[in-house]
Amino acid sequence: MKKLKILVVDDMPEVYQRIENSLNKVCKLGYANTLEGGLDEIRQNSYDGVITDFDLNGFDSIEIIKSSKDKGLPVIVMSKENVKEKVMKEGADKFIFKKDLFKELETCELNFFKSYNER
């Protein structure tokens, strides 16, 4: 089975490190720590999905969501704040509170990306 390639966009390297530790056996991960870096990764590389923090050094991730959707990629947005309504309206496929991210990562999120990419 092909490993999914997921882009993680978060301005906190320790969050990426925890995601990598959780998913590195089943996914190939790309990483960007800024809004612009995330947009560049989406434009220049091929991914199966995106996990992004909502707040990226004072910028919201709406452009990440839009750019991902333009390429047909599923997007999961994570945040400490409840921005679910806003990100879903902008096209995100799923919202997760950061505090819940790690317990959900290995199970439902991988299944989410797999089912999205099997369409």
Number of structural domains found in the chain: 1
Q: Is the pLDDT reported for residue 115 higher than 70?
A: no
For position 14, which CATH number holds? 3.40.50.2300
pLDDT reported for residue 110: 56
Average pLDDT across the chain, whole number: 88
pTM, whole model, 2 decimals?
Answer: 0.88
Q: Does residue 47 fall inside a structural domain? A: yes
Q: Say if 119 falls within a structural domain.
A: no
Whole-angstrom Cα Rg for the chain = 13
Average pLDDT over residues 105-111: 60
In a domain, 118, yes or no: no
pLDDT score at 27: 84
104 lies in some domain: yes
Residues 9-15, mean pLDDT to the nearest whole number: 93
- Helix, strand, coil percentages (3-state) for the chain, rounded to 5, are 45, 25, 30
Domain assignment present for residue 73? The answer is yes
Domain with 66, as residue range(s), is: 4-110
Q: What is the rounded (10 degree) CA torsion for 62, 67, 70, 73?
A: -90
Residue 40 lies in a domain: yes
